Every structure is written in structure tokens, then in C-alpha cells.
Chains A and B, each alone.
Chain A
């Protein structure tokens, strides 16, 4: 699946040699295919996320880069060097583990110094760099504590410091914020982006949290069933998903399966299975092709009267209504039988209640026809 690499950062624009590259990588565990035909290139300095549901192969992908797994087929390259057969301890990458995997028999300071001492750096240099790392993650007062004496957020920062103190070419982060509560997670997200900017090294993060991936990443690879569904910037992924899976996994969406009646260069007319005729944005598609129309809840407008214009407009009735403060979450049952989820701003001008007859409408450019899976 050839992707145009959208350069989001200045570093990525200078299309130099990728920091990490996977070429046609397969990994099997017994009879299970964990990842298949993986192709990806991460540019120097990028914050790259691998996003997908649990069991999609994202952690295996990270472990292949770290060297904890060797590919069944294909090659792993780090800064141009083929490291497929190189053991983990000789790869220029460092990992922040989901469980942190801190050495509980060592102090915070010794945990952070571990990688440097292994490399036989001079004592003074170790002291300086550990001091810098502690300052960077704001843990100086905790230097002589043991991991068990720290809170979850502090342990997370020790894990970060222990990895980044080695100045790796690439930092690998395996669900780094997964074990933290909501508030701490938001705070650590900010710290992660700050660190990434300060250090300028490549970050590859695995996450199942789409919001986190959208908020932090320069580019995201969405994985499903061991394969990459799409690689792109957050807005690529959200606004221009390539597959129904991506549209559905990232954010909420309404998926309407149907068939193309008329195909134009940038627009198609689709008749859905229930007979609804929808105008949608589309790439190169031909008539009679099976498609799924994706329309996001926040792109749909509700009104009491029919809307003009040449967009999509249908009659229906509010069947469920949830009041969420900033907006209303409604389910509208169309007269054709389909139900659409609609996200309506909380405003006084559209008084709606359950059973209110309404019109739903959205512009053709706000929905997307995707090739059916």
C-alpha cells in the first residue's frame, strides 16, 4: 500500500535516510501470523505512533524494532543498517516499557545510570548525565529512592529518564501512559511532546488510545489484523481515512454500505442498502462499485425544516437523546429505516426532544465513500 509521506515536521521534510525502516516484515508465533507484510519508514525526529486495537500486532512491531523479536521474514533497518539479526543489546534504541520494568533492587539514580555504566562511561560523565536526566524529568529529589517508593507518574518518568539518558537514535514507547489515570495522562502527554521537542530524537509510540495518538503524533500508522491499514498525519487519518476500519476506529462515524450509481472525478452518488441516495466525496471510483459511506456525527446538522442546497438531506425522527453539556448526542431514525448518530452543538435555536420530527443534512464534501472491505 503506497502512501504519500506527508511531512509534518521540519525534520521529516528533509527526506533523508529514515531512522527506522521495516521492509516486508512478517512475524509468526507458531501458527499465528502476528504481523504481515509490514512496510514503514520513520523519519528522523518524527513522533510516530502505531495505533490499533489490542491484538493488532502493534506491540509485536515495536518489539521487532527493539530486537526482542526477530522477523520471520523481511528486514528491520535502523539508520540505514540492517539490524534484523542484531540482538537487542546492540541496537541504538531504548524502550519505555508499558509496565516500566524498573529494577526494584536499585535506586532511581542507579536505574537511570544502568545503561551508561553498562557502556563503561567514566564515573563523572555518568554522574553528570544522570543529573541532567533527573532534572529533565523533574525527579532530582527522588534520586536515592527505590521505585517502590514512587507514585505511578514518578515511576513513568524514571522509565523515561532511564531510556533517554542513553541518547538513543530512537525512543520506543510501549503504551507509555496506559497505566496512568486520566488527569496524569493528559499531563504526561504534554511532557512527552515537550521532551520530544527538546531532544529532537525519533519517538515511536504504540498506543490503543486514538485521542492520544492524534494529540501527540506527527504521523500515525493504523494497524489491524497484523497489517497497516493507513499511514498519515492525524488529519489524514481522521478526515481522509482510506478504509472503513480506519474511519470507524478513529473517532465516531456512521457507516452506510451501498453501491455507486454515478461516479464523477471527485464525487460519487451512492444508493445505500436501504435505498438512501447519498452524495459523497470519493477518489477514483467506478459505477456499481460496492462502497461504504462514512459520515461523522459532528458533520451532520439537524433542523426542523428541510434545508436547501444540493447536499444530502433526509427526513427522520429523534429516537434517542443524550445531553452531554457541550453538545447533544442524538440518534435519528430516518424514514428509510437507517439510524444516524448526530452530534449537535448545545444551542437554543434547535429545540429538539425525543420523537421530534427533524431533517438531517450534510454537505457532500463532509462525507466519504470508501471501498468496501
Chain B
């Protein structure tokens, strides 16, 4: 490092071309930067442009720019789809949290230390298989003559026809994203200073009071991070609603898919829907970066 007061040497062209401090970052960042620019930024801008051409369909002449595609989203039928997507995301996130927190708590604070890593791997294991494959597995479990109904009938309970209903979507989404929830919560709970729990007990707090006044506030950043991550993933999930949800579980990803690859080829409307989804996810990521514990996310 040269001191700030050092005289700046006169710059010749040769000196300017010599390796400089900016060269390192450029060399390191350029490949990924170019990649992102070509495959993320430009396509997004392209989608933005298409979304601003009302009624654009593939292979048909289009008019000028306007907000028609966005206004179309406000029709009740599409608002219902967005509402359903949010319901899937919020519902499965809450389910993941309710199911995942006790598991993460047990893993981080109560499980035998020497089995801990093995148990964690056990939880991550489902992530090693393709999400498509896992969704297919659920169709065989939930179909009318599937494993689930066989179990119900042997227990003398009425069979449930859950495949191709929103219930199957909740089950599938919760199953798919529970490991992420557990992993991030584990990372957060594992850092919990248990001496604080002793201090709380010492000051008269019952285990329940200690949990709500110490454990939860101390791990709130981890809870926020895990919930937002699962929310983002479930909001834009395509595989589970498509394979398990049937016609009654149209969500925003499927709607977008239909605009681009369905018979109508309504690219303009599909792009507007994409922009809305991108915006919603970006907002959630902004919240995650602002309030979530980034360390637990990266650790997990």
C-alpha cells in the first residue's frame, strides 16, 4: 500500500498498460460477470421488453409498448392464481417451520454428539436425488391405489383421494424443502449459547419462558433466513404443483409455463407474469439479506 501522500507518478501509456490493481478483480470477476450478463441480465431485460408489448404472441405482428399485459394480471382469474401461489408458499413454509424447528432443536442441542453429523447427513440425503424423481415418488404414494391409501385401509380408515389436489401440493412442497429448513435452523441453533438458558433459569424462567424469551429471539435471524429461503423456493416451484397438484392447483410458475409453451403462445403476458414473480422473489431476497442471518445460510 502506498501512503496517500505519496506523489502520483506521471502516467505514460506504457505505465497505464502495466498490470495494475484493477486488473486482479477484473480477471477474477470477468468470466462470471460475462456469464451473468449474457444469461441473466440480458434475458431479464428482454423479458421486461416483451412484457411491455401488450398482447404479444409468438409469430403474430405486435403493436407498440403499453402496460396491457400487466393490467391483464389484475383479472380475478389470474389474481386467484397468484393468491394460490402465495398460499402454497406461506402454508408450506409454516409447515416446514413447525415440523423443522423441533427437529433442528433436537439435533443441535439434545442429540448425542457423536451421532450428530450422521443424523444431519440423514436429513440431507433426500436432497441428493432429483426433485423430479421425488415428486414422482409422491404420485405413487398418493394415488388412489397407492401406498398411503393401502395403509389407511389396512388401519380401517377411509381412503383419501389427495393426488391432484392442493393437499398433495402442500405435502410435496413441505417434503421437498424441509431439509433446507432443518439445515439452516440447525446452523442457527447450534450457535445458541446454552449458558444463556442457564442464566434465564437462574433468574426464575421456566423452560417454556426460556424458550420464548431466549431461544427464539436468539435464533430469530436463522428462523427468518430459513423461512424466507423456503418461501422463495416454494413460491416459484414448478415440479411439485405440476406433478402432484393437478388442474386445481395452478400456480404462477405453471401459468407462466403455459403462456410460453402452451397453445396460446402469449409471450407478452407470460413475460409480465415473469416480471411479477422476479420482483416478488427479489423482494424476499432483499428481506433475507436485511433481516436473515446470512452466515447460517452460507454455512448450511
- Measured CB to CB, the residues of A under 8 A from B are 66-68, 87-90, 93-95, 97, 99, 101-103, 105, 114-115, 118-119, 162-163, 166
* Interface residue stretch chosen among B84-92, B97-105, B191-199, B250-258: B191-199
Determine how close the nearest CB of chain A comes to the CB of B199; give it in whole angstroms: 4
A68 and B204 contact, CB distance less than 8 A: no
A95 and B217 contact, CB distance less than 8 A: no
B202 and A119 contact, CB distance less than 8 A: no
CB < 8 Å neighbour of A101 from B198, B204, B206, B220: B198
State whether the Cβ of B203 lies closer than 8 Å to any Cβ in chain A: yes
Cα–Cα distance between A68 and B199 once the two chains are bound (Å): 10
Cα–Cα distance between A99 and B194 once the two chains are bound (Å): 12
Chain B residues within an 8 Å CB radius of A99 = 195
Chain A residues within an 8 Å CB radius of B201 = 67-68, 87-89
4 A-B pairs with least C-beta separation: A115-B203, A101-B199, A88-B201, A101-B195
A88 and B218 contact, CB distance less than 8 A: no
Cα–Cα distance between A97 and B197 once the two chains are bound (Å): 12
CB < 8 Å neighbour of A94 from B203, B205, B213, B218: B203
CB < 8 Å neighbour of B202 from A66, A102, A103: A66
State whether the Cβ of B282 lies closer than 8 Å to any Cβ in chain A: no
State whether the Cβ of B214 lies closer than 8 Å to any Cβ in chain A: yes
State whether the Cβ of B73 lies closer than 8 Å to any Cβ in chain A: no
State whether the Cβ of B209 lies closer than 8 Å to any Cβ in chain A: yes
Chain A residues within an 8 Å CB radius of B199 = 95, 97, 101-103
State whether the Cβ of B200 lies closer than 8 Å to any Cβ in chain A: yes
A166 and B217 contact, CB distance less than 8 A: no
CB < 8 Å neighbour of B205 from A89, A93, A105: A89
Cα–Cα distance between A90 and B218 once the two chains are bound (Å): 24
Give the A-B pair count, Cβ closer than 8 A. Answer: 59
> What per-residue 1/0 map shows which CB atoms of B208-222 lie under 8 Å from chain A?
010001100110100
B202 and A105 contact, CB distance less than 8 A: no
10 contacts between A and B (CB under 8 A): A67-B201, A68-B202, A94-B202, A94-B203, A95-B202, A99-B195, A101-B193, A101-B195, A103-B196, A105-B217
Q: How many residues of chain B get a CB closer than 8 Å to chain A's CBs?
A: 19
Cα–Cα distance between A95 and B198 once the two chains are bound (Å): 10
Determine how close the nearest CB of chain B comes to the CB of A100; give it in whole angstroms: 9
Nearest B residue to A68 by beta-carbon distance? B198
Cα–Cα distance between A119 and B202 once the two chains are bound (Å): 12
A88 and B198 contact, CB distance less than 8 A: yes
Cα–Cα distance between A221 and B150 once the two chains are bound (Å): 69
Chain A residues within an 8 Å CB radius of B200 = 89, 103, 114
A166 and B195 contact, CB distance less than 8 A: no
Chain B residues within an 8 Å CB radius of A105 = 217-218, 220
Nearest A residue to B210 by beta-carbon distance? A89
Cα–Cα distance between A50 and B62 once the two chains are bound (Å): 88
CB < 8 Å neighbour of A89 from B202, B213, B220: B202
Cα–Cα distance between A204 and B293 once the two chains are bound (Å): 39
Known: A101-B198, A115-B204. 4 other contacts (CB 8 A): A68-B198, A94-B202, A97-B195, A103-B200
Chain B residues within an 8 Å CB radius of A166 = 203-204
Nearest B residue to A166 by beta-carbon distance? B203
Nearest B residue to A162 by beta-carbon distance? B203
Chain B residues within an 8 Å CB radius of A95 = 198-199, 202
Determine how close the nearest CB of chain B comes to the CB of A179; give it in whole angstroms: 13
Cα–Cα distance between A163 and B200 once the two chains are bound (Å): 11
Determine how close the nearest CB of chain A comes to the CB of B257; give it in whole angstroms: 44
Determine how close the nearest CB of chain B comes to the CB of A281; give it in whole angstroms: 44
Chain A residues within an 8 Å CB radius of B214 = 103
